[in-house]
Amino acid sequence: MTMMTAEQYAESLGKLNLVVYMFGERVEDVVGNPIIRPSMKAVAKTYELAHRPEYEDIMTVVSHISGKKINRFTHIHQGTGDLLKKSKMGRLLGRETGCCFQRCVGMDALNALSIVTFDIDAKYSTGYYKRFLKYLEYVQENDLTCDGAMTDPKGDRSLPPHKQPDPDHFLRVIEERKDGIVVRGAKAHQTGAVNSHEVIVMPTLSMRKEDEDYAVSFALPSDADGISYIMGRQSCDTRKLEGGNMDQGNLMFGGHEALVVFDDVFVPWDRVFMYKEYDFAGQLVEDFASYHRQSYACKVGVGDVLIGAAQTAAEYNGVARASHIKDKIIEMNHLNETLYCGCIACASEGRKEPSGTYCVNTLLANVHKQNVTRFPYEIARLAQDIAGGLMVTLPSEKDFRSPETGKWVEKYFKAHPDVSTENRMRILRLIENITLGTAAVGYLTESMHGAGSPQAQRIMISRSANLPEKQRAAKKLCGIEE
């Protein structure tokens, strides 16, 4: 098997023995849980579209290892064309799901490791790259979803890993054995963690010699002994338990995050891709971050949905022809397409690494992600402006369906005579979901903090902008000789 269907993907998750906790209790049926299942269905969309002929060029590619057709999410970029199609794939899936579809992090981890393992081998004559290629072949052959686990809890941010009062605030190696290593720690904010077959761990920041026990990268099955998941809360998450579907906004899809705990977990050597090479920790972080900042093409797709919802709300409210409404829709499109320009630009200017893998342009990827920390918030503000206050004061679906109150909800929330009250309520709930509810995690908060903080991007922009060259150009034009 090389490419799973959406149905096979769901079945494969059901075979995992994941240890998942939510609301203080263990979740017995992870796949069927009504709060988790919408996020699983979003990942399943990445499998479904790969089998649709109209999306074959974007969603699939021929493996440079096996020569077989594979899902692009398991591919190592072989040229700028691959990087461009990655951006197009992200926008497509964001538009199809209206939320985070969770599979980008693992793809970006695989590509970053394909670069860094090769470079470590070149310096230290280790065997990481060969191990990695064997692992990659396994992921491609089985079409696996991987969780890229980089973010540590970090504890006191003013201190490096080896000086933390609690040494487990950064994931670390606590024991070396003949057949592998034992690790302890946690990874926070893990998007799509319980929808993944594999977890790929990476260091979270640049390190020094004293931090070498924390300079570790490896991959394990997501249900390996000692790994536990604690689900994060999202705004309005329990609406999925209330029956009906109107109040959820997005009826089909969603996302999730989790704290992933590694409680003295054994990792065999053939799954280890970095061990104590602290001088390469920073490179792995930066390569992964550049890839993942490009991946925020997905927010353009969600932006497409939000713009469509705002236009629909304007029409349902009877204000679509107002000049200020038209101008707001234009501004939303302008901001959204500007984001798309950024992810396409950093892909187009990609470069070939010694391993043969193509990486995005670091400067442009960070500029793109810096815009993502800002523009979706303005797009969301404009959508809320257009929607009106009813978006957050609507009665519940149960009130709408109630024999006692339904007639009043129907009567007093009717607007355009050709639009049903129910349809008006549904589009307003979708806007609420994307800008304030469960999808807001993936669209707004993730836009701000995903792939590193805004300050991390500014640091990379400062490093990559080549100010001396700009100064030379200016001095030359005005006759300054030094």
Q: Catalogue the active-site residues.
A: 100, 104, 191, 257, 292, 296, 298, 446
Strand partners, 259: 230
Work out the number of other CB atoms within 10 angstroms of the CB of residue 226. 15
Question: Which among 225, 220, 341 is positioned nearest to 271, based on CA atoms?
Answer: 220
Give how far the C-alpha of residue 202 lies from the chain's centroid of Cα atoms, to the nearest Å.
16
Question: Which among 274, 147, 256 is positioned nearest to 207, based on CA atoms?
Answer: 274
Q: List, in sequence order, the alpha helices (H) in 220-297.
A: 281-294
Residues 102, 103, 106, CA angle at the centre, nearest 5°? 120
How distant, in Å, are the alpha carbons of 21, 81, 446 from that of 359? Answer: 37, 11, 22
**CA dist., res. 327 & res. 318, Å (int):** 16
**CA dist., res. 221 & res. 16, Å (int):** 9
Which residues, 6+ apart, have CB-to-CB distance to 330 below 8 Å?
A: none
3-state secondary structure of 452: coil
3-state secondary structure of 214: helix
Max CA separation in the chain (angstroms): 85
